[in-house]
Structure 1
Amino acid sequence: MKWIQALQQVKAYQPGKTPEELKRELGLDRLVKLASNENPFGYSSAVDRAIQEASSSPTIYPDGAAYELRQVVSAQLGVSPQQLIFGNGSDEVIRMVTSALIGPGRNSVMPAPSFSQYKHNVALQGGEAREIPLLPNGKHDRKGMLNAIDDETSIVWICSPNNPTGDIMTEQELAEMMEHIPEDVLVVVDQAYHEYVTDEDYTDTTSLVARYPNVLALRTFSKAHGLAGFRVGYGVAREDVIQAIEPVREPFNVNSLGQIAALASIKDLEFVNACREENAKERKRLKEGLEALGLYVYPSEANFLLVDVGMDSDEAFQYLLRNGYIVRAGNVLGYPTCLRITVGQAEDNTNIIQHIASLLKETQTS
């Protein structure tokens, strides 16, 4: 077979075992997944009602233009409908952007560690991924990223809040950075965890796009909206940027039920706001509980925390798994002694703190 050379540089995504599989293997009655930053508070009840009342048929193709969803999202953001592009999750929008701008000889600048799909898609396109290590506190090295830009740079990726550290780039920090980025370089600001941010210095999506002609902001319904299984995300940019990317988009890329669910959810801002408030409260409590154990917890504005447990992350992961909790081991994230823990419901956050305390005690006495 005449496979493309870029395939030698990437690996297929390897999904973990399902909670049901692990429960059977470990003999557990209950297993809580706090590894993928899903919403532990569920999703709006309006979604179920909208799906039950939907008149769409599975024999009919979905609306390729996502017309109704497009109208509501554009109205809420205060942008024109033509400034939006929808995808099968924001992952697909990342792929579309990369396909439109990256090829052999081109490069893309990104923080590291960060969301893996930036590098993955750049490599698939035969481009060069220029990874700039994060600063020790988990923030983007803005100076280092700027220094990495040259005439062949097509995309600069900014993840805010960043995955896996949770830190944000403030409005002032981003503005200072944008002053030095050429206008022919697209700056993709990934705001997948936007709804969870409580810091007043955070950059709003609408003002960001209005101010800079070369910015595309990414948003998703997979996190705060709790619709990860429906796979709906979108990008916001100037109309000319969206028009340039549109030819890469598959004709019917967002399924009918996903559009119905997203439309119902975005109308229920009360639910999303409640999730933000509960997440902020529990994030603070979880952080303080872990810090009370003498652990370093990275500052986070997302629905997860990165905590340095001071040991091999796989060992800590296995310990928590045996006790009924799935978290994300830091070895695969670039932080070998850390765990990324999704902020869960109150009882589960309390239990996580207690289990980690027991783990540290066992480690110290062994």
Structure 2
Amino acid sequence: MTEWARFVRATMHDLQPYEPGPRMPELERRYGRALVRLNRNEDLFPPFPGMREAVEAELPSVWMYPEESYDEFRAAVARRIGTTPDRIVPAHGSQALIGTLASLFLDPGDVAVTSRPTYGLYAKASAARGATVESVRLRNHRVDFEALATAAAAARAKVVWICDPNNPTGSLAHRDEWETFLDALPETCVAIVDEAYADYVDPESRLQREGDVEAGRPLVVLRTLSKLFGIAGLRLGYAIADPQLAHYMDVVQEPFNVNRAAIAAGLACLADPEQIEKRRLAVAEARDVLCERLRAVGVEPLPSQTNFVLVDTGADGAALAAALAEEGLLVRAGGEYGLHGFVRITVGPVPLMVRVADALGRTLAR
């Protein structure tokens, strides 16, 4: 019998695969009913108009490899955000770009800094490349940019990973703290900002970091079409980077790494700016209703401009999540993030938000 561990890189031995939780069929058998997924921050609204037709139109061509340069998609993204196509790097989801950047920047023995709690793939991707990972605690459930810069300087870090808005807390950076952070970042270090949830942020609050990239700051921005655009199952994201770095990213990524259906769906979504804004406003309205109803039953949601809300329940989050599952509602218990009294709830249409808030209130009242 071959002992495969001896062939595997030592940096991989202690890593574990991503566990999204039990599969839906298994859970529905366990609870004996249909379940609504409010635990994965997926888009719970109807698909964008024209997206389905765009995917179906691509089906006769699935025997062909996609266009490797993805010029049309790069141009569409560049038009939307006001930059140039040579700064756009498409990939099969922003998760793939996290791995690409870790491979580009990190050698064994390098240091990567991230926040705690935040999205776990930053630490995992860094450790897989042999880097040491240092994490900085949030301050009042917000990313502590001053502490991140201090930690990066002290450790001579190569990379700082930032999720903004942060998952799971929903916190959003302010322009002054962001600019202070960039100015304080050591010259040895690159900031990688995952903006998976930035499309939900109202325009007055949103930081336009593509301008920082164009200004030559040591920065890469990651975005996805999995969230507001609702195509998580097709896997499509992109990076905004200096053209020189974009070239290196294209070198490292495998060829044809985005499928034809994903590109077609992405182009259809990006071509409809009116629908993009309507979706953002619909999520904001539903989020406001959810937060208002949660406060009415005696629990406090953290501020959020995302498609999820983190709620301080004052109870056992895991037990509460299990009780809500009995009512057909899956929410994310905060224990895996060290937030044991919290649950994270994905925002969906208003009637669903009323249902989940009422169910949570009944459960807490028992």
TM-score (norm. length: structure 2): 0.94
Counterpart check, 1:133 vs 2:137 = yes
Deviations 1:221-280 (A, max 9, x none): 000000000000000011122123222111111111111111111111222211110111
CA contact (8 A) 1:102 1:125 kept: yes
Counterpart check, 1:26 vs 2:20 = no
CA contact (8 A) 2:313 2:341 kept: yes
Which AA in structure 2 matches 1:109?
V
TM-score (norm. length: structure 1): 0.94
CA contact (8 A) 1:221 1:262 kept: yes
CA contact (8 A) 1:199 1:301 kept: no
- 2:18 pairs, out of 4, 13, 16, with 13
Secondary structure of the residue aligned to 2:42 is: coil
Q: Residue in 2 aligned with 1:174?
A: 178
Counterpart check, 1:98 vs 2:102 = yes
Q: Residue in 2 aligned with 1:215?
A: 219
Unaligned ranges ≥5, structure 1? none
Give the share of equivalent positions with the same residue, in percent.
Answer: 31
- 2:161 pairs, out of 138, 157, 160, with 157
Please provide the CA RMSD for this pair: 1.6
Counterpart check, 1:49 vs 2:80 = no
CA distance in 2, matches of 1:197, 1:48: 26
Which AA in structure 2 matches 1:320?
L
Which structure 1 residue ranges, 4+ long, deviate > 6 Å from structure 2? none
Secondary structure of the residue aligned to 2:61 is: coil
CA distance in 2, matches of 1:31, 1:7: 35
Q: Residue in 2 aligned with 1:122?
A: 126
Counterpart check, 1:343 vs 2:347 = yes
Q: CA deviation at 1:43?
A: 2.0
Show the 5 A alignment for 1:1-366.
Answer: 1=4, 2=6, 3-28=8-33, 30-54=34-58, 57-136=61-140, 138-150=141-153, 152-198=156-202, 200-362=204-366
Deviations 1:31-86 (A, max 9, x none): 21111111111321211121222375222112222121112111222222111111
CA distance in 2, matches of 1:165, 1:56: 43
Secondary structure of the residue aligned to 2:221 is: strand
Which AA in structure 2 matches 1:18?
R
CA contact (8 A) 1:56 1:256 kept: no
CA contact (8 A) 2:170 2:303 kept: yes
Q: CA deviation at 1:5?
A: 1.5
CA distance in 2, matches of 1:163, 1:15: 15
- After TM superposition, the structure 1 stretch with the greater mean CA deviation from structure 2, 11-20 or 225-234, is 11-20
Q: CA deviation at 1:212?
A: 4.1
